[in-house]
Structure 1
Amino acid sequence: MPNSSAFEMQQTLLKLRQIHLETERDTELSKNLERLLQHDSSGSPLPIPVRFTGNLETRGIMMVEGSGGGKTTALRKVLSEHPALMPNKNDDFLRVVSVQVPSPATMKSLGLAILAGTGVHDLSERSKAWDIWKMVKHRFGLLGTVVLWIDEAQDMFFSGQPSEIDNMLKTIKSLMQNETAVIVILSGTERLSDVTAFDPQVNRRFAKITPRDLVSGGDEQDLLGSIVSKYCEIAGLSFDAGGNVTGRLIHGSRGRFGRALETVLNAIECALFEEADELTRLHFAAAWEAQEGCAWKQNVFVIDDWRQLRLDESAAEFEFERKERQFRKLGRA
C-alpha cells in the first residue's frame, strides 16, 4: 500500500472512531445525573449535588455491563459534556474526578489514585489509609468536586480480604456524607453488583443502570446493519450484508454494542488495506480471526452453524469459580 493510501486509511479510521453513537446508556446516565444535581429557578442544572436523608448525604449511580458493552465511552461522553460539570476557565474547580481502579486494589492504592486525579502526586505510600482518605475529602471540598467516577469498580472488591472489602464499602458510603459529599459513579462488570448487594446500606444509595445486550434477529440487528452501512459510506465502501453478517456480528460480540462496533471498524480496516470497493463477510472473518485468535473452522463469520458456537466457556468457568471463592470469604466474614 502506498504511503499516501496508508495515511488516508488512517484518517478515515480516525474519523470513524470519533463518531459517538448515542444509546440507552447515554439517555439513562443523563437522566439519573440530572436527578442527582440541583437546579436553579430556570431549570438549569447546578454543580451542586442534591441532598437526601435530612439533607445529610448524596446518592450515586452504578452502571453494570459486561466488558465491551460501551459503558466507559458513554460515561466519558456524558460527564465531559454536561453543562454543570464542564471546566470553567475563570476558576480552578475540578467538578469531575475520574479514576480507574489500580492493581492491586487496596484502600491505600485507591485513595492515592483518587488523590492523583485531583492533582496530588507526591504523597508518600507510607501514609496511613485513614490520612489518605481524609485528604481525598479535603481535596474534593477545595476543588468543588461534584462527581467521583470509579471505572472497573468491580476490581475494588476482588483482590483483598473480606475486612478490606468491608472497609471499601464503608469508605464509598462515607464519600456521600458530610460537607464534602460527592455523587459517586461506579462502573464495572456484573461482579460489581454481586458484591455491593452484600451491603444494603451501600446498595440502596445507588441507582442501577444495566444496559441490555444486543439480540440477533430483532430490531437491533436492523439498526446495526444501518450503522455498518453508514460507516461504509464514510469510508467509501459499499456493504454486502449477505450471509446474515449482522446476526453473526451480534453473536460474535457476545451481544455487546462496543465490541460489535470495534469489529466493524477492524473489518473496514481490512477492506481498506486490501483497497477493496466492498465490505464483505470475509473482511469480518479476517478481523474476527485476528481479534479472537481462533481457528478458521471456529470463526463465527465462516461456519454454517454459527449460532451454536460457544464463546468464552473457559473464561466463564474461571469467573464463576473466582466469585464462589470470594463469596465464601465474605460469608465467613
Structure 2
Amino acid sequence: MMKSNRIIQAAQRIAVLKGRFIHHERYTPLAASFEMLVEKRLADLSAGMVNEAHGLALARPSGAGKSAAIEFLLGGQIRRLADEGYGKTTIISLRVPSPATLKFLGQTLLCALGYQISSERQAWYIWDLVRHHLKERRVLFVHLDEAQDLVSRGTKHELNAVASMLKTLMTDKDWPVGIILSRTNELEDILNHDPQLARRMKTTRFESLSPTAHGEDVVDLLESFCERAQLGPEEDVLELTQGERLVHAAANQFGLVIELILAAIEDALLQEQKTPNRNNFVRAYHLRTSCDPEFNPFVVPDFLRIEARQVFTRENRT
C-alpha cells in the first residue's frame, strides 16, 4: 500500500506548481486591453468626468486556460488599485449562478457587494439596488464568468434583457461600471445580438495551439515545471515529438497542456521517481480518459489520428 506521507508530499508539491501562473502569448493582449480600460476609468475619475464605461469579452474553447488568466489579471489589478487608495472592491468577480436568471444574478451580485435581499423582491428593484451599491462601493468593473448561461435558451427575449442590463450598467449616468465577460464561444451570441453592446466591448480570444507551431514551446514549459519540481526528465521526454504529443493530447488547449504536465509529474512523484519518463504521461492520459493504449497519444506512432476529447475509447466495444 502506498505510504500516506508520499501522497501528502506529492500533493503539496503539485499545489505549489499549480500556484504558478504561466505568461503566454495569448495573455499579453488580454492584459494590455484591460490595463487600458482601467487607466481610462481612473482618468475619468481624476478629471471628475462621467463617461460611459467599456468592457472586455474573453471567449475561448474549454481548457484554453482562460480561468487562470482572468484570475491572475484581476487579482493583480485589485491589489494595485487597493495599494493606490481606490479600495478593495474596485473589481467584483462572480460566476453566473444557476438558474441563470437576471433576478438571481442581481441577488448574487448584491451578496458579493455585502448586501442581502429577500428573493420576493422584483427584478427591477434588485437591479436598482445593484446600481446604488456599485456606486457606494466605487466598483469600477464587474466580471461575469460563465456569462453565456444568461442566455441558455437562446431566445430573443433573453438576449434583449441581458444586453439591456449590461448596457445600463455601463452607461449609468451617476456611476458607469465596466463589464468583463468570459466563457466559451457561445458568449459571441450575446455580443452579436446587440451592436450597441458590442461597440462598448473589447474582444479577446484564446486561439488553440498547434502541435507543429507550439511543440517546442511546450517542451520548454515541461522542462521548466520539472525543474521547479526538482525533477530531471529523461531525454526522450524533452524531444520535440513529446511536445507535439502533449499539444494533441490536450486537444490543442493551453490549459489542458498544463494539466497533463502536472498529472505526469504527480505520477512521477507518487512513484518516487527522480526522472519523469514517457510512462508517466501514458498513465496521466489514461487516468484522464480511461482509453485503451491504442487510443493514447503517448503510445501510438500515429497519434494525430486520435480524438483527444473522447473518453473511455475502446478498440472493440461490445
What TM-score do the two structures reach when normalised by structure 2?
0.87
1:244 alignment partner, one of 232, 235, 241? 241
Contact 2:50 2:175 in 1 (8 A): no
* 8 Å CA contact 2:169, 2:176 repeated in 1: yes
Q: Alignment length, in residue pairs?
A: 305
Which of 166, 189, 192 in structure 2 is aligned with 1:194? 189
1:113 Cα deviation (Å)? 1.5
Q: Deviations over 1:93-114 (max 9, x none)?
A: 5101111011121111111111
Q: How does 1:27-176 map to 2 (within 5 A)?
A: 27-38=28-39, 46=42, 56-82=51-77, 86-87=81-82, 94-120=89-115, 122-159=116-153, 161-176=155-170
Tell me how large the CA RMSD over aligned residues is: 2.6
State the partner residue of 2:11: 10
What letter is aligned with 1:180?
A: W
**Helix, strand or coil: the match of 1:238?**
coil
The Cα of 1:234 is off from its aligned counterpart by 2.2
- The letter of the residue matching 1:27 is T
Q: Alpha carbons of 1:91 and 1:153: their partners in 2 closer, same or farther (altered >3 Å)?
A: closer
CA drift at 1:225? 0.5
Deviation, 1:210, is 0.9
Task: For residue 6 of structure 1, report the CA deviation from its aligned partner.
Answer: 3.0
Counterpart residue number, 2:199: 204
1:291 aligns with 2:285: no
2:277 to 270, 280, 285: 280
Q: Give, in whole Å, the separation in 2 of the partners of 1:92 and 1:34.
A: 17
Check whether the contact 1:26–1:75 (CA below 8 A) recurs between aligned residues.
no
Unaligned runs of 5+ in 1: 40-44, 315-333
Query: In the alignment, is the contact (CA less than 8 A) between 2:97 and 2:104 conserved in 1?
Result: yes
Change (3 A) 1:145 1:235: same
Kindly indicate whether the alpha-carbon contact (under 8 Å) linking 1:151 and 1:187 is maintained by their aligned counterparts in 2.
yes
CA distance in 1, matches of 2:37, 2:104: 28
Give ranges in structure 2 of 5+ residues lacking alignment: 312-318
AA in 2 matched with 1:280: N
Indicate the larger mover: 159-168 or 56-65.
159-168
Q: Distance in 1 between matches of 2:80 and 2:301?
A: 50
Alignment correspondent of 1:214: 209
Query: How far has the Cα of 1:88 moved from its partner?
Result: 5.4
2: CA distance, partners of 1:137 / 1:65: 29
* Equivalent pair of 2:78/2:90 in contact (CA under 8 Å): no
Corresponding residue to 1:307 among 291, 304, 307: 304
Cα shift readout 1:75-127 (whole Å, capped 9, x = no counterpart) = 1111111277543597865101111011121111111111121112x311121
Between the aligned residues of both structures, percent identity stands at 28
